[in-house]
Chains A and B, each alone.
Chain A
C-alpha cells in the first residue's frame, strides 16, 4: 500500500481501499456490467480484435465516459439488440452460436 498512503489520502473512497488492505479483506466490488450466464462474451476480441481496432472502439464506446463518472454506472443497455446493432454496423458475425453456447 505504497501509493495510496499518499495519493488521494484524504478522499474517503481511497480511505476504504487502505482500510481493506490493513484489515486483510479484499474489496467486494459490485458488478455494474453483467451478462447472463448463457452468454459468453469475449472481451479481448472487442479490444484487440481486427474489426474492433479498425472501428476504433474504445472503452468509452461501451462503458461511457468512465473517467468523468463520480460513480460508475451502466452506460449502455447491454441488451442483445444493442450488441447486434454494432455488429451489423461493423459487418461482423450475428451468428447465435458465436456467443450463445
Chain B
C-alpha cells in the first residue's frame, strides 16, 4: 500500500487516513495546548518589522490557523530558515572583541566570537554573549523622551527633541557645554571632541570607572610615555600578578586569557608558573599555582624587594642601564621588606630566582588593587620587569592598548565641581553612568541638579538618565554603524546586524543633525549627511594611509566582512625615564580596629553596566557562586569573631557611607580584609538591576588619589544586623568530601617516573577477576541491542574532553548555553529555592586544610551523556533514552514529568520546568518582550512539566549532519562545535566523535590525565576530564 492510497483527507488538522500505524504519534501529554502562550513559532509574530517571515501564535491540533507571511520584497541576505552572519564589534567593555552575529529572519539570535579577530580569536565572554539582552532588553528606552511639567518622562518626537537641544545649545555659551562619554576611541570620540571644539567648548570628559589611572601614572613615571604596555602572556613562562585580574576584567581579558593558557596549561609534559599577589583571592588568583596575600597596600614593597634580589644577585639578563635603579632598590632588602609586607624573606628570595630564571612577566594595575599606593605598585612591577629584562620581550610598547580611553577620575571630579559652581549650562552624557559609578561623596547626582539642561543618550533609564531633562536614546551597538580602536593598528568596524528594535537614533546622527540645525561653523565643519557617511570618510583616509591598492569600495566591503582592519604594530621596548629612580613604595597605614574593604570589579557585571542583563544576574559569580546579590567576602575567623555566617545580612560602614550586603565566608581572603564586588545597588536601570544588592561605590572616598583615580580600598566596620537571607546560589557543598569530582595533580608528580594514567591510579580498586566478570556481563547486555534496528551499523559516538588545566572558571560557557538553548532565567527567589535551569554549571571546590589558603578546583558540569545512564531505565515513558550516536536524548513531548530521571542522576544535571517560563501570565515568566526575539528558532522552548538537560547541542549536530548529507561528504572532525566549546576563551573543551580514533576528542580522552567524574558508579560518561596540574611542590 503506497502512501498515495492513504485517505485524502479534506479537513485541516488531519482527522487521519485509514492506515493504522503501530507507532502513532503518542504524545502522552499534548505539550502545546491552544491556550499555551509562546511556542517556537510565536517569536516570529509580526511586531511591525517590515515583512518578517512570521506566524501567528497557535499550537498544533487547534483549529485556529497559523499564518505564513512572506516578505513582500525578499530581503537580499535573508533566506527564511537559514542564518546570515554579520561581523561586528562587541562594545560591552573596552577590550573590543570581534563578534559574528547570527541573524535569523532579520533578528540576531546568537553572538559568537570572530575567529579571525586578533583580540579574541573566535571566543566570547559572558558579557559579550549577554549583549543580546541589552539589545532586546524590555527596559530599553523606546523613543525620545522629555521631562514634562509634573517631572515625569513623556515621549516626544525626534524632530521636537532635536529642536529643543539645538535651541539650548545655541543659547548656551560654548564654554559651558560639557559632554561625558565612555571610552569610544575611534570616529565617535573624535566627532564628539571636534563637535565640542567647534562649539567653543573643551569640555569632552571621558569617564570609564575602570580608568587604570594607577597604571598610567606608573608608566609615565617609569618609561616617560602615556602609552600603556601590552603584555605577551603567551611568551611568559612565569607570570607574577600584583592584583591584576587579567582573566576577568583587566586590560583585554580574552586576549590575555588566551596567552596565559597557551603558556600555563599543561602540555607536552611541561607548564608555566603563575603566582598571584593580592590580599583577596580573585578568580584570577584561584588559577594561580601560588597565592600570596600581603598586607594590603604593600604589593609595591614586595615587587621592589624581588627586584632588589634580582639586581643584587645579578640574575637574569637585565638591560645595561638597570644599574641606575640600584640606589632606589637598596631600601627594599628582603628582610626589611618581609616585615612590611608580611611575606617571608625566603619566599621573596625564591620568587626572585624563579622570576629571573626564564621569560617572565609581572603585571599590576588592576582595579581591585587600586589602593592609595597603587601607582607605586604598578611602577614597582614595571621596574621588576625592567631588571629582569622583560621589557621589549613580554612587556611591549607600540601596541598601545587603550582600555580607559583617556579617562581620568580627576576630570570627573573637576566636572562635578564645575556643575556645583553653576559653570555648566548644558550637559550631554553618552555611554557613561557617573551618577552610579562614582563615589557617592563626589555628589555627582546633586551637582547635576545645578545644570539647567541635561541630555542623556542612554539606551536605558539608568541613574544618570533619570536625572536628565531629555533622553535621545542611542541605537544599541548591534544596531549601529561605528568603529572602535582598542589599540594601535587595530581599527574595528561595527555594522547594524538588524533593523533597530525601537525608535532610536544613533547619537552620531543626532550630533550631525544638530550641527546642521545650528548652521554656521557647525554646519560647515560637519557636512556629512549621516554618521555612516562621516564614518566612511574617516575610513577613506585610513584606506589611503594603508596604501591599499584596492578601490575604497572593495576595501570597505572586505573590512566589513572581516570585522575591521588590523596589522601587527611594530612593538618595541622602552628605556627608563628620569622619574624611574624616584619610585618609592609608601603603603598606606593599616586601619586600626577596622577591616580593609576591597571594592573589586565584578567579572560578570563589570562596573555595573551589565546589571540589567538577566543572564548575567543569574550567572553565579565565579568566586562566590552567588547570583542576584551583593556579598561581603569575609574570612572564617573574622566571621566567627563577629558572630556572622553565610547568609547573614551585615552592615558595612566606611567614612563615606553605609551599605548592607549578605555575608559570604571565604577562606581565600586575609583576616583583616573584607571584599565586595561592584555592579549592583542600582537605584534605576530597569527591573533586573533596580533595588538589588548594594553599590560598593558608596563606601569609597570621593577624593581622588595622588594618581588621580578612585581609591577602591576603604577602612570599614562590619556589623551583624541579625537578619538572614538564603543565599541565591546553586552551589552545594564547598568540599568534595572524597568524591573525586575535581582532580588535580602536581607537576612534579605527573612528570615523575612511573606516573600512572590518572583513571587507573584513582579508580576504585576492584579485584581483577571481578572486574573481568563485570566487563563480560556489561558486554553481553549491550551485545543484542547494538545490532538491533537503529543501533545497527556505524554511528559516531559524540563525546567531549574538558581540560581542567585550561579551564579558568570564567563561566563564559554557561552564558553561551543560555543563549543557544533558550534557557529561562528564573530570578532570585527561585534560585534561592534551587530552581535554577542552567544546563552547564561551573562547580567550584575548595581543597586543603581549614585555616590554610584554599586550593580551588573548578569543574564544568553538564550532562555527561552516560553510556550506562541511570536516568534512562527509570523513565516510564521512554522520554529519556540512548540514541545510536551516543547521546542521552530527552524527548520533550513524551515527558510526563515524573522526575524520576533527575532523581536518579548522580551528577544532578537534569532540570525540571516547574513553571511555565514562556507563559506571560505565569509568575515565573522569563521573556518579557522583546527578550523573546533572542530565542533560538532551532531549539524547542520547553513548557511546564517537562524535563530538560544539556543535549550536546543536538540541534547543531543534526544541522551539521543534514549539511553533510546534502553535500555528500562525511562530517569532518571539528565541524560540529557545541555552544559552550565555541565560546570558551581558554579553549578548554574538545568535542567530536569518540568512535573516530583520529579525532581530537579521542586523543584527549586517552590522555594520561583523563578521568571520569564519579567513575566508580559505572555510568560510562562520554565526557573525559583532564586533571588540573598545579605547578607547585605539594598538592
Contacts and interface: CB of A to CB of B under 8 A. Distances in A.
A94 B791 CA distance: 10
B110 to A, nearest CB: 17
Contacts of A29: 67-70
Interface stretch (B198-206, B755-763, B885-893, B1024-1032): B885-893
Interface in A63-90: 64, 73-82, 84-86
A27 B790 CA distance: 43
18 contacts: A25-B72, A26-B72, A32-B12, A36-B31, A38-B892, A38-B940, A42-B962, A45-B962, A73-B10, A74-B11, A76-B14, A79-B25, A80-B23, A80-B24, A81-B25, A96-B883, A96-B894, A97-B958
A81 B21 contact: yes
Contact of A101 (B70, B954, B962): B954
B19 A61 contact: no
Closest 5 pairs (CB-CB, A-B): A81-B21, A80-B25, A37-B40, A36-B60, A97-B889
A20 B940 CA distance: 33
Nearest to B26: A80
A25 B67 CA distance: 14
A13 interface: no
B16 interface: yes
B938 interface: yes
A100 interface: yes
Contacts of A27: 69-70
A86 to B, nearest CB: 6
B71 A26 contact: yes
- Chain B CB count within 10 A is highest, among A27, A29, A75, for A75
- Secondary structure at chain B's binding surface: helix, strand, loop or mixed? loop
B370 interface: no
B883 A95 contact: yes
Nearest to B891: A100
Given A27-B70, A74-B12, A82-B19, A37 B39 contact: yes
Contacts of A97: 883, 887, 889, 891, 954, 958
A3 interface: no
A85 B16 CA distance: 14
A79 B16 contact: yes
B81 to A, nearest CB: 9
B65 A79 contact: no
Interface string B888-918: 0111111000000000000000000000000
A48 interface: yes
B41 interface: yes
A71 to B, nearest CB: 10
Nearest to B890: A101
Q: How large is the interface on B (under 10, 10 to 19, 20 to 34, 35 or more residues)?
A: 35 or more
B965 A45 contact: yes
- Chain B CB count within 10 A is highest, among A75, A76, A100, A101, for A101
Interface residues of A, number: 48
B65 A30 contact: yes
Contacts of B884: 93, 95
Interface stretch (B1-9, B87-95, B319-327, B625-633): B1-9
Interface in A7-40: 20-21, 24-32, 34-38, 40
A50 B965 CA distance: 8
A98 B881 contact: no
A101 to B, nearest CB: 4
Given A76-B3, A82-B21, A36 B958 contact: no
Contacts of A62: 3
Nearest to A83: B25
A20 B55 CA distance: 18
A42 B40 CA distance: 16
Interface of B: 3-4, 6-14, 16-17, 19-26, 31-32, 39-41, 51, 55, 59-61, 65-72, 789-790, 881, 883-884, 887, 889-894, 938, 940-941, 951, 954-955, 958, 962, 965-966
A6 interface: no
Contacts of A32: 12
A96 B881 contact: yes
A81 B3 CA distance: 12
A92 B921 CA distance: 42
B25 A40 contact: no
Contacts of A24: 72
Nearest to A76: B6
A9 to B, nearest CB: 20
B9 A77 contact: yes
Contact of A37 (B6, B51, B940): B940
B14 A38 contact: no
A77 to B, nearest CB: 4
Contact of B6 (A60, A82, A96): A82
B951 A101 contact: yes
B3 A36 contact: no
Given A77-B17, A79-B21, A44 B12 contact: no
A35 B3 contact: no
A29 B891 CA distance: 31
Contact of B790 (A38, A75, A80, A94): A94
B892 A61 contact: no
Contacts of B894: 96, 100
A82 to B, nearest CB: 6
A26 B69 contact: yes
B889 A37 contact: no
A22 to B, nearest CB: 11
A75 B8 contact: yes
Given A40-B940, A82-B21, A95-B884, 14 more contacts: A26-B71, A28-B68, A36-B61, A37-B60, A40-B958, A45-B962, A49-B965, A75-B9, A77-B9, A81-B25, A97-B883, A101-B891, A101-B940, A101-B958
Contacts of B25: 79-81
A25 to B, nearest CB: 7
Nearest to A100: B891
Nearest to A101: B954
A30 B67 contact: yes
Given A45-B962, A85-B21, A36 B59 contact: yes
Contact of A77 (B14, B66, B940): B14
Contacts of B891: 38, 96-97, 100-101
Contacts of A21: 72
Contacts of A28: 67-69
Contacts of A95: 790, 883-884
A59 B607 CA distance: 57
B925 to A, nearest CB: 18
A77 B39 CA distance: 22
A67 B736 CA distance: 67
B480 to A, nearest CB: 27
Nearest to A36: B60
B6 A26 contact: no
A34 B57 CA distance: 12
A98 B638 CA distance: 57
Contacts of A84: 21-23
Contacts of B55: 31
Contacts of B889: 96-97, 100-101
A79 B24 contact: yes
Nearest to A45: B962
B36 to A, nearest CB: 10
Contacts of B71: 26
A34 B41 CA distance: 11
B772 to A, nearest CB: 33
A48 B963 CA distance: 11
A42 B892 CA distance: 18
A100 B68 contact: no
B67 A81 contact: no
A95 to B, nearest CB: 4
A90 B60 CA distance: 27
A96 to B, nearest CB: 5
Nearest to A23: B72
B10 A94 contact: no
Contacts of A76: 3, 6, 9, 14, 17
Given A37-B32, A79-B14, A31 B68 contact: yes
Nearest to A29: B68
